[in-house]
């Protein structure tokens, strides 16, 4: 059946499995501090009210302070990209005592992640098997998405093939619906709400924006 937030349980997953290689310093991206708190804590504050069950995906060998969230590890021992984290989240959600129909995901490195993702995605979820994707002013943000649990076998087969791991390559095989989000106004500037932190310069820009306004 189509996703209806008022009639079904919803699982959530914070994707924090990246290697953070471009940030330098060796600090896991989830633990990078911005405006007095970690990127992980910022993301929890946005997603926790949206879902009935929230977990965080971490790569093997990376741990974070206990924040009261279950940790979902990629099943592969080597870095397999963000889709491996999505698959791990889908598998976990399928085993919950009350099985949800969908998994809401967002990367940990989006400092201006908008609230209300689940409700916005629900308005576009007429096809129960479609993946609902966020689209900001700069283009699609394919990991800020609502995934039907029914996609798990196809995603598993895609990753098991071993020839392709790109998110876009998998999505090109699936039915998708994009939901457009307007710019966020922060510090008097229009900012893509799915602006992500990949480099120290990105982190500095986010800190400057936050210092100029209160997102």
Binding positions for Mg(2+) are 109
Closest listed residue to residue 103, CA positions, set 116, 95, 114, 93: 93
Cβ atoms < 10 Å from Cβ of 22: 13
Annotated binding site for GTP: 15-17, 29, 57, 74, 109
Cα of 2 vs its chain's centroid, Å: 21
- What does the alpha-carbon distance between residue 97 and residue 199 come to, in Å, rounded to a whole number? 39
- Please answer whether residues 34 and 206 qualify as being in contact, where contact means their C-beta atoms are separated by less than 8 angstroms: yes
- What does the alpha-carbon distance between residue 181 and residue 68 come to, in Å, rounded to a whole number? 30
User: Residue 133 phi/psi, 5° resolution?
Assistant: -115, 145
- Cα distances from 182 to residues 10, 87, 187, 192, in angstroms, run 24, 29, 16, 8
Strand, coil or helix: what is 51? coil
Annotated binding site: 15-17, 29, 57, 74, 109
- Cα distances from 139 to residues 84, 114, 161, 169, 211, in angstroms, run 23, 15, 28, 16, 26
- What does the alpha-carbon distance between residue 195 and residue 186 come to, in Å, rounded to a whole number? 12
- What does the alpha-carbon distance between residue 36 and residue 14 come to, in Å, rounded to a whole number? 20
């Amino acid at each position: 059946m189509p996703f209806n937030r008022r009639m079904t349980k919803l699982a959530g997953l914070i994707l924090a499995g990246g290697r953070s290689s471009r940030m330098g310093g060796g600090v896991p991206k989830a633990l990078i501090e911005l405006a007095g708190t970690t990127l992980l804590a910022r993301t929890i504050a946005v997603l926790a009210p949206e879902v009935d069950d929230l977990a965080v995906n971490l790569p093997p060998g990376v741990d974070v302070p206990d924040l009261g969230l279950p940790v979902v590890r990629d099943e592969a021992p080597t870095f397999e990209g963000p889709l491996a984290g999505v698959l791990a989240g889908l598998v976990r959600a399928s085993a919950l005592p009350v099985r949800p129909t969908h998994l809401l995901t967002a990367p940990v490195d989006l400092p201006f992640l908008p609230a209300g993702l689940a409700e916005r995605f629900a308005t576009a979820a007429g096809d129960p098997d479609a993946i609902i994707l966020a689209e900001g002013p700069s283009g699609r943000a394919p990991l800020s998405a609502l995934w039907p649990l029914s996609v798990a076998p196809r995603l598993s087969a895609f990753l098991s093939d071993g020839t392709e791991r790109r998110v876009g390559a998998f999505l090109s095989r699936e039915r998708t619906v994009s939901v457009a989000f307007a710019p966020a106004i922060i510090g008097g500037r229009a900012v893509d709400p799915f602006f992500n932190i990949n480099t120290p310069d990105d982190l500095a820009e986010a800190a400057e924006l936050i210092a100029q306004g209160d997102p």
